[in-house]
Amino acid sequence: MALHRRRLLQSVAAASLGTFAGCATPVFSGNEEKQTTYTLNIDDIPVSPVEHALYEPSDGALFGDPARTALDDIIPEGRHTTYGYQPLSEDHYVERNGTYYQTKHIVTGQKRLQRTLVRGEPLPEDEKTPDDAIVVESLDKPTSRVVKILHSNAQTGSTADLLRDDAYVLRRPAEQESALAAGELDGRVVTMKKGGPWVYRIQTTQTELVETEHTIFAVEVATSREALREIVFNTRIDTELEPGELSEDEQEILEEAIGLPPYEETAPLSESYESLLNALKLAEVEQFDRKHLWYDGGYYRYSLNVSEN
């Protein structure tokens, strides 16, 4: 059965993928002291490469509205400037009236602006949570998102890159129109769930910051779907394979790797598995990465997870 037919019968779900340490030599050899397992994860992408590459903003006000405003400004030949944040990622493919563009981003300067900074101080253990504490889910989305970011940073430090000196800076239009920007939560206590255990006192302050000036523009790249398809295949697909390029054993492994559970072997690897990993350009592992595969009319996202036991 051809792979693209078999995948219609399989339940394909996204695998939970772990990171692994990089190495500079081929990773397929065994280790006498530890067992090394090589897990090939392949997930089906249920749309064409072109559909997958084309970008449309979300419906939300926080991220979708700034993106739509930027696109309206830059297509076909305009510019859009923001301060301290980017409304669009670079290299999105977008379509307008049958013409295809790619978004570009450059830093064009700095500007000193008045900004609202938000901090969340954990309530001391010996201080009782007030009866009027606000449950985070009752807040508007721009406000609740900021509180959740502050909470995550307080607990794990995992969102530190989104903060400035442990404070969140309100920059996006929806944030600047939120309850936080209006000062409605200054000094109020917010709890992540009713009754605790995570409780924070919100503090908002005004200050001047030097913000980076970001300029977004668009470059026309194609005037037909066929021309865009060629561009996408050249830029977004890491590996193209046809069934005739693989042995029967390699095809069986590839089919088994699609979906859950993924395919894995412990070193030393079988000859077929090793040759398939080479065909997928996974012979050397520098860092965890997801790649894209076009095979037998199907579009897939794949990665190799290397673990030691």
- pLDDT tens digits along 259-298: 788 999 999 999 999 999 999 999 765 545 789 999 999 9
pLDDT of residue 7: 36
Q: Are 10 and 256 in contact (CB under 8 A)?
A: no
Environment class of 1 (CB within 10 Å of its CB; exposed 0-12, middle 13-18, buried 19+): exposed
The model's pLDDT over 62-74, given as tens digits with 9 standing for 90+, comes to 999 999 999 999 9
pLDDT of residue 134: 96
pLDDT of residue 148: 97
Report d(CA 7, CA 3) in Å as an integer.
6
Taking 50 as the threshold, does the pLDDT of residue 178 lie above it?
yes
- Percentage of the chain lying above the pLDDT 70 cut: 88
- For residue 164 the two structure tokens come to 């400035």
Taking 60 as the threshold, does the pLDDT of residue 241 lie above it?
yes
**Dihedral of CA 254/250/243/290: which sign?**
positive
- For residue 117 the two structure tokens come to 């900074």
Taking 90 as the threshold, does the pLDDT of residue 192 lie above it?
yes
Per-chain mean pLDDT for the chain: 89
Assign 8 a pLDDT band (cuts: 50, 70, 90): very low
Assign 195 a pLDDT band (cuts: 50, 70, 90): confident
Q: Are 228 and 93 in contact (CB under 8 A)?
A: yes
Report d(CA 46, CA 26) in Å as an integer.
32
pLDDT of residue 3: 38
First to last CA, the chain: 35
Choose between 82 and 35: higher pLDDT: 82
- Among left, alpha and beta (phi > 0; psi -120 to 50; other), residue 187 is left
Within the chain, strands assigned E span 36-44, 80-83, 93-96, 99-122, 134-135, 168-170, 189-191, 199-222, 239-241, 263-266, 291-295, 298-308
- For residue 287 the two structure tokens come to 């860092």
pLDDT of residue 28: 60
pLDDT of residue 49: 97
pLDDT of residue 288: 58
CA atoms within 13 A on the CB side of 150: 29
In this prediction the pTM is 0.81
Taking 50 as the threshold, does the pLDDT of residue 25 lie above it?
no
Assign 125 a pLDDT band (cuts: 50, 70, 90): confident
Report d(CA 114, CA 117) in Å as an integer.
10
- Percentage of the chain lying above the pLDDT 90 cut: 80
CA neighbor of 120 nearest in space, from 174, 171, 175, 187? 187
Taking 90 as the threshold, does the pLDDT of residue 33 lie above it?
no
pLDDT of residue 283: 77
The model's pLDDT over 34-57, given as tens digits with 9 standing for 90+, comes to 899 999 999 999 999 999 999 999
